[in-house]
Amino acid sequence: MDAAPTIAAGEEMALAAPAPAHARPSLAVTLRIVAVAVIFVFALVGIPAILDSYWLQIMMSVVIYAIVTLGLGVLIGRVGMVSLCQFVLLAIGAWVALRLEYLWSIPFPILILLAGLITSAIGVGIGLPALRLSGLYLALITLMAAGAITVLLRVAQFPNGGSGFYGNSRAGGASSRLSRPSIALKDVAYYRYCVIVAALMFLLALWHVRTKAGRAWAAIRQSRATAVSAGVNVTLYKLWAFALASFMAGVAGCLLAASSGGVNINQFPVQNSISLLAVVLMGGTFNLFGAVIAALFLRLLPALLDDWGVSPELLTILFGVGVLQVLLTAPGGLVDQVPKDLAKLGRKVAGALTPKAKRTAPTE
């Protein structure tokens, strides 16, 4: 990707009459910044403080999967491409990280970057032939690729210190775990490490959607003809989006390989790609925070159901109903719908209270 689109930061246009110096940013923007800060601090400090080690591990996996759902959300919401191979790319990220770690001991941050970049290259390899197709056909091709890679991974298994290219020895047990960075050996510290990496990925996504690439994607999403006649190299920017989503899956894979319990090849069945798509649609693809909601659905909800003694089979039905609900009533996803509904409810409650106050007034 040496022809990567040049993205200049800070090119967001604020063209309307240059704001006077004393003008404050709009209430909505301030609220959003405050909300993001509160969520970040709560994730970093609040969650480890209130949760025991079991639930902290669940939240750790929520944070890691939020990176995957973020990538897929950008792909679907911003570019309009549906990929069903993100789950397998997550496994590839884990595999690459483990393989490199057993080959050379690499500092963890560099390992994250390498796992992301190599997964990104593999993602582009899948995307290259698939990009001539769109919609259902692209989804189908990526699902087929995911199936094929899953078969290969099942044969290869995750590296666990064995010899040879695959680095797997049958005596090594079914799960492989990457050694954690020395600054984050304990679960709480590693959880925070994951939160920070995830936050960086959200910034990376935000930077993309706010700059040249994001505007090119918006043009492509509108229609191919619009994009081409406005000078957008459609193939390059589609590939770039695919590379970004794959990079994120690879980064998440590296983090996952070092999480509690490590990774196990049976953890990545192909059908999970479909669940992934369902939760991403439910969370909302246009707002980046939809990715967090999607990850909560994907990782926290099953654990909660399990805790309450409800069969996990129910999950498929819940996701089905959820997707139907979102597609029919909330194209922006739950991240968009819930605040709107809450505001509506607030107005209704306020509306119900005011007339009462008026009614009581004359009797005084």
Shortest Cβ 70–other proteins spacing (Å): 18
Work out the angle at residue 40's Cα, subtended by the Cα atoms of residues 84 and 321, and round it to the nearest 5 degrees.
Answer: 40
- The 13-52 contact track toward other proteins, x by CB under 8 A, reads xxxx------------------------------------
Shortest Cβ 233–other proteins spacing (Å): 5
Both tokens of 213, joined, read 């690439």
Shortest Cβ 69–other proteins spacing (Å): 20
Would you call 326 helix, strand, or coil by DSSP?
Answer: helix
According to CB under 8 A, which residues from 179 to 218 bind other proteins?
Answer: 212, 215-216, 218
According to CB under 8 A, which residues from 230 to 269 bind other proteins?
Answer: 230-234
Helix (H) or strand (E) holding 60: helix 53-73
Shortest Cβ 289–other proteins spacing (Å): 17
Phi/psi-derived region of residue 168, left when phi > 0, alpha when psi is between -120 and 50, beta in every other case: beta
> How far apart are the C-alpha atoms of 72 and 246, rounded to whole Å?
9
Count of Cβ atoms closer than 10 Å to residue 210 Cβ = 15
Among 144, 221, 267, 302, indicate the residue that binds other proteins (CB under 8 A): 221
Residue 209 or 323: the one with the smaller Cβ distance to other proteins is: 209
> How far apart are the C-alpha atoms of 353 and 356, rounded to whole Å?
5
Question: Residue for token digits 């789950």?
Answer: 87
Shortest Cβ 15–other proteins spacing (Å): 4
- Binding window for other proteins (CB under 8 A); candidates: 43-51, 226-234, 244-252, 296-304: 226-234
Rule CB under 8 A: say whether 9 interacts with other proteins. no
- Distance of alpha carbon 144 from the chain centroid: 22
Rule CB under 8 A: say whether 8 interacts with other proteins. yes
Helix (H) or strand (E) holding 176: strand 175-176
Q: What are the residues binding other proteins (CB under 8 A)?
A: 8, 11, 13-16, 212, 215-216, 218-219, 221-223, 225-234, 286
